[in-house]
Structure formats: structure tokens, C-alpha cells
Structure 1
Amino acid sequence: MSIISMGTHLQLLIHPSRSPIPHRGSLLQVADHGVRGHRHVRAHIMAARKAIEGVSDELNAVASQNMDFAPARRRVRTAFLPVQQQLNHVLFKMAVPEIQMEERYEKSSRGVEIFWKSWRPGQGEPMKAALFFCHGYGDTCTFFFEGIAKIIAAAGYGVFAMDYPCFGLSEGLHGYIHSFDEMVDHVIEQYARIRGMEEVRGLPHFLLGQSMGGAVALKVNLKQPREWDGVVLVAPMCKIAEDVTPPALVLKALAIISNILPEAKLFPQKDLAELAFRIPQKRKMTAFNAISYSDQMRLRTAVELIKATHDIESQLEKVSSPLLILHGAADKVTDPQVSRFLYDKACSKDKTLKLYEESYHSILEGEPDDRILEVINDIILWLDSHSTLK
């Protein structure tokens, strides 16, 4: 999650499932270049990434390289994979029955190479339904979510996840959202391809969105209301609190500037790890998610997130699919009352809101082990009850 602030107290809460790593030694560089047939200015901020405790100098050197583009991020992920698998976290060390896993790269209709991964029940085991994951801002589907997906797959579900363009292992300028709707269309296209696969076709299909991924999942569902059998939202980003909503004139000014400096990293990010992760040891492990985007937020990205949130808020009464909303009651990053607002506004006749006492924002990663497993089990129980309805 980041807090974006600018002169006039402009703020926006947009937390991913991990916290940003603080940076130091920034240097701003500006260069002209062509983007989508237009001439734009790109502002780079060269920053030294904070050293990751417990890894070699060699790995820290790997993690400190420029990861603006996918080839570098893919190299870093490969280098860090053995270390990640040794982390003392329930999502990495918990033993689960044998499951099938597969990773693929696939070109979208817009020519962007998309990374996606699947976790499925063991060979010969039936698949109850398919669950499609939408990750948070700056995040990837190849770190903490791996453990979540394995547990859900072991319960009989096919779990499918992708990295959005410009995030994780997919192509594109790291951390850049040129158009939120275009990003959502990428998700719709990729997941439509997967839903068309023989082993998935005909099964119930569910969306799972976390933090900003909750906004993505809601937009997907609003665009395809008849395509999904239910939506699970974890601490979703779907409304900006009134006391931090930017004034209309500020929004207009930002929109104009974003056309000139769309990729500029103009907004400082505050490290909110202490607010997102209740358990200090788990909080430290976020640093090992080395390919996450943790630099200053790009201007166009900020504008698109504000616009998307406003658009979703104006359409919440159209949400009609079965809905499960899960939120930490002590979350100081995304307000649990916003989830209650969503619950009240959605027109779905089948909707459930569950608040977890004392829990922070990252209820799937940063809580005590028993709470993490409780939340995952609540998701599985809900999927079980809705997979038999079709």
C-alpha cells in the first residue's frame, strides 16, 4: 500500500499484498522518447534498493539491478526462487498433497507477453471449479500467493493467476498503468482463454481479488456479469475515503500533467509494512519478493487508480454475483468500513462480509499462522458451497 501525497494533501490508499521497500539515493533523470506514436517525457528515478538481510552480496547485487523491463525481472525471480522456498513462513513450508503446477508465457492480442501460472489437483483428481486470481498493486502471483494457491488446489480447485502487463514477470514498463480499463481487458482476455481450455470449460468459475486486485476483479465482473459464478474479495480497493478524496481541480490538473509525464515517478511511497503485516517476522519476508514494484508511483498510474476507484464506486449497486468479502477489522490501510459499504451497496442476494478481529490488512500473509489458515479455509468453504450450486 502506498499513501500518495502532493502539496494539497492529495492522498490515495492503494495497498498491494506486500509493503514497499524504502529507497535511498534517488537521482532524477529525464529523457524524451516515443510512446504509442506520441512524444512523451520519461522521468527515471535511480534508487539504491535497501539491502535484503540474510542473503548474499551477490543476490543483493542481482536485486539492485534496474527492473524496468521484464527480462531483468525474470532473471531476478529465477535467482531468488531457491531462497524464497526456504522462508520460514506457513505459506512456504506447509506440506500439501501433490498438485500439478504449470507456468506459461502467452502473447495477448495487443502483442504483450503475459505470464500466467496454474495450480491444479493431483493427477487423476477431479477439479471442482476454477478460481482466477487478481493480485494487488506492485505485486506478482509468484510469491506469497504460491502457498495460498497450493492449499486451495489441494482442496480440489484449479487455481489460475496472471501478472498484469507491467507487473511481475509480464512484459511492460514496471509499475506503469497506462489505462486501468485496458489492464482489466488484458485480464478478461487471458482468463477467457484459460476458461476455454477443455479441463476448465463447463466448471464453475470464480474470481479472487486482493487489495487493488479487488478493484480489478470487480471491474471484470461488472464487464462480464454473466460469466462468473462468484467473486471473493480480500481487503478490496473499491472506494476512496471522503476525507482523502482529491478535489476536482486537483484531479483535472493531475490528468493534464499525466499526459505530459505519464511514466514519471513523482509520488513518494511511505513504507506501511507495520500497518499491513501484524507479525514482524512475516513483515521482514516481504523484502524477498524482489520483483515487486516498490519505487515511487508513476503519475499516470496514480491518476488511473483514482479514476478506476471512482468508476467502481459509482457502479457498486450493479454487482449481482455471489459475493464473499473478507477484511481485517484492525486494517488501517484499507478501511474495513469500505468493505461494509460495498456489502451494503451490492445488489447481490447472496453476499457475505466477514471481519477478522485484531487482523491487519494482509490477512492472507501477515497474520499468525492460524489466522492465515482460517482465512484460506473460509475461502475454500465458500467455494465448496457455491461450486455445488451450478
Structure 2
Amino acid sequence: MPPHMTTISHRIAGSGPRVAVVAPPRPRGRAAVVAGAAAKGAHRERTLEGASDDLRAAAAQCLDWAPARRRVRATFAPVLPTLDHCLFKMAPKEIQMEENYETNSKGVEIFWKSWLPREGTATKAALFFCHGYGDTCTFFFEGIAKRIAAAGYAVYAMDYPGFGMSYGLHGYIASFDGMVDHVIEQYARIRGMKEVCELPHFLLGQSMGGAVALKVHLKQQKEWDGVLLVAPMCKISEDVTPPAPVLKALSILSCLLPEAKLFPQKDIGDLALRDPRKRKVAEYNAISYSDQMRLRTAVELLKATKDIESQLEKISSPLLILHGAADMVTDPQVSKFLYEKASTKDKTLKLYEGSYHSILEGEPDDRISTAINDIISWLDSHC
């Protein structure tokens, strides 16, 4: 391990000691003042149907910093297997899991997790996941990862700085390219591990994570055996963005108040998840960012999509794109454009009629299974 990397490992399944994780201290002094200012803005209360008072109190905490998010995740963890969702109720058993915290070369503590095939099962390849903006790698993706791992794949995922259980101000992206560099560094270390280094390596990106995965590929053209995209954020739908004059004003304001939660946006829950019951379950992802978008974050996302849109013809890796045809968050027409422009000859586009944005989490159970099986089938054909 490089000298700048430190690791805290927590075994979830299999042998090995449990190691206590000591959370970093809360910010003090000037940092606390900045944190307080950044917290100003609309705070969205979660509708936690059937939740206990303890869970509601935990979800109502300020989650600006990682220690609070980690405590809240620990509070909600025992409840997740009981939720009425196929990704929890039908998750394969005996998948080997491990959680880790590592401090990278930039001094940021990153949370990452692995899901490995059942003991004794040969591993076909390694899949590296990039999550979406309002998501983490420890909620719905747990069930997705277990299904893919059960098919013989080692699955790895991380929370970006400021998201989930990684350190950083909640929901804040100071630089999209900088965030991508964090992903490249973390996944490079994992890809170098002896149990992974000889395997084929694939990227899986969902929504904003699709933009992250594409950026990683564009920076590492020769290092990935394939890229899989689910409702990729190559362009943000006009349905969820303010008018151009407002965008220009907000861009200027982001230089003065980059961390402020002032970017006007619609609640995309109804737009993202088609099944109303699954929308209710999604509320239990208590450490996902659901407040109004921070100004700098919004500007960085818009810049990233414009940059990706200008480089689509440079995408040379084998490519699978899955998209709901009725998606109102990221435009399926842009996925068609991506499919047409990508220079790779090995490319597949699947559109799911009537499906919304969250095709892996928010659709009827059979559609979710179909989409996950499509991912596994594509991986099988490329190993």
C-alpha cells in the first residue's frame, strides 16, 4: 500500500476481526462557521412511513459532515432488510462483504465497499460502481451488487467526497474533475490488489455516476474493459433545470456562496421512481443528499455534462447503455445521441418502454430484475 494511504477495515462476512472506526472530529472554529453558513437553505424533511420516533429523530439531524452520516446509517442499517422492496427481500445470501475507510493522497477519508461471489465460486471480472447524485453505495445498490456478485463478479463501490459516508461537506462538489480524480485514485488501488489485478475491469455508472464513469474512461482510455451506463447524466433534462437567465445569475452567485443550498430544483422523487411504493422505501436512504442543490455543485454538474457532450466521439470502450424511455430526469434522447457518437464498434443501447429514471430501483419488480439481468448478460458476453 502506498505510504499516503491508511485503511480502516470492517469485516461484514467471513473471518477476520472487527475493527472499531474512529470518526474524525467535527469541524471547529472557522470551519464550523462555514459549515453553518452552508447549511442555510431549504431542508427537505423525509416522509418515513411507519418509522419509529428514533428513526425520525436520526433522519432529522444535520448531515453536513461524515460523522453524523455514519451514525445515522448505523441507526437505519437494522431496518433495511425489513423494507418492502425486492432488492432487500430477494437479495442473494452468503455474499462476502467488506467495508473500508481509506485516507487518500489528498487527505480525504473515502468509504468503499466490496461484494464478492460466494466462497468457492470463481470470479469472472471486477465491476466498479459510480453512484448517482442523490444516492450512496450502501442502500439500493446493496441489493443490486449482491445479485451481480451472485453471478460471479467482484463488485466494488465508493462514496464520493461529501456523499454517503466519505468525508466532506454533504452534497458539495467543488470540482467535478477533482471528484473524478478521487474515483480514479481509489479504484486504481483496488484494481492493483492481487485478487483483482488479473481480472477484466468494468465501470458501471448510474445517473450522475454515468458522467463520472465516462470521465474516468476519457482520462483512462486504455485501462477499462468496458463501460456500463444506466440513465447516464450526459445532459440534464430541461424539466428539472431553471431557465437560462436564472442559470447565469446562479453561476455568478456560486462564486460568492459556493456552498449555499440555493439552486432551485424540483423534487425528482416522483420523476425518478415510477412505483409509488418504492418511492416510500427510498426515503429510508437517510444519508442520501436530498436538500436543495448547493450552488457550486449545480454549476459543476452543468459544466461536466457540457464537457462530456463535446467528447462523446472519444468513447472507445465496449459500451452498454440502459435507459428508461419515459425518463424525465436525464434525457433518453441524449443516450441515443451518445450511442450514435461513441467511436466504439461494440455498443448496445437498451430502452425500457414506460420506465422512469431509476430503472434499477424504482420500477416494478420484474422490470428491475430484467435490467439487472441485462447487465449480467452483457458482462458474461464480455468476459
TM-score normalised by the shorter chain: which range applies?
A: 0.7 to 0.9
Asked if the contact 1:343–1:352 (Cα under 8 Å) also holds between the matched residues in 2, the reply is: yes
1:11 aligned partner: none
Change (3 A) 1:248 1:158: same
Asked if 2 retains the 8 angstrom alpha-carbon contact of 1:269 and 1:295, the reply is no
Q: Distance in 2 between matches of 1:75 and 1:250?
A: 37
Shift of 1:259: 2.0
Alpha-carbon contact 2:237-2:329 (below 8 Å) kept: no
Q: Which has the higher contact order (CA 8 A, sep 6+)?
A: 1
Q: CA deviation at 1:97?
A: 4.5
Cα deviation, 1:349-376, whole Å, max 9, x if unaligned, reads 1000001111111110111111101100
* Deviation for aligned residue 1:126: 1.4
Is residue 222–residue 319 contact of structure 1 (8 Å, CA) maintained in 2? yes
Within the candidate set 160, 166, 171, 1:170 is matched to: 166
Secondary structure in 2 matching 1:145: helix
Which stretches in structure 1 are left out of the alignment for 5+ residues? 1-31
Deviations 1:94-149 (A, max 9, x none): 14242210000000111110000000011222110000000000210000000000
Output the CA distance in 2 between the equivalents of 1:85 and 1:230: 32
Residue 383 in structure 1 maps to residue 382 in structure 2: no
Asked whether the 8 Å contact 2:135–2:288 carries over to 1, the reply is yes
Please name the residue that 2:204 is paired with. 208
Cα RMSD between the aligned structures?
Answer: 2.3
Alpha-carbon distance in 1 for matches of 2:243, 2:267? 25
Q: Sequence identity, in percent?
A: 75
- Say whether the 8 Å CA contact 2:326–2:356 is kept in structure 1: yes
**What residue in structure 2 maps to residue 291 of structure 1?**
287
Equivalent position of 1:63 in the other structure: 59
Closer, same or farther: CA 179–119 of 1 in aligned 2, 3 Å: same
Please tell me the residue identity of whatever aligns with 1:84: L
- Structure-2 change in CA distance of 1:98 and 1:302 (3 Å): same
Change (3 A) 1:244 1:70: closer
Partner of 1:193: 189
More strand by share: 1
1:47 CA displacement: 3.5
Quote the residue 1:303 is aligned against.
299
Matches within 5 A, 1:113-152: 113-152=109-148
Answering whether residue 348 of structure 2 is matched by residue 360 of structure 1, we say no
Matched, 1:105 2:105: no
Q: Structure 1 length as normaliser, TM-score?
A: 0.86
2:345 to 336, 344, 349: 349
CA distance in 1, matches of 2:143, 2:157: 13
Q: Bigger CA drift: 334-343 or 234-243?
A: 234-243
Aligned partner (choices 257, 260, 263) of residue 256 of structure 2: 260
* Amino acid corresponding to residue 227 of structure 2 in structure 1: V
Distance in 1, matches of 2:241 and 2:293, equals: 18
1:141-171 alpha-carbon deviations (Å, 9 max, x no partner): 0000000000000000000000000000000
How far apart, CA to CA, are the structure 1 residues paired with 2:309 and 2:229? 15
Query: Residue 352 of structure 1: SS of its match in structure 2?
Result: strand
Q: 1:386 to 1:167 in 2, by over 3 A?
A: same
Distance 2:172 2:69 in 1: 14
| Aligned counterparts of 1:244 and 1:366: Cα–Cα separation in 2 | 18
Q: Counterpart of 1:44 in 2: which secondary structure?
A: coil
Q: Deviations over 1:228-272 (max 9, x none)?
A: 000000000002468998888766654432221110111233222
Q: Structure 2 length normalisation: TM-score? A: 0.87
Q: How does 1:68-83 map to 2 (within 5 A)?
A: 68-83=64-79
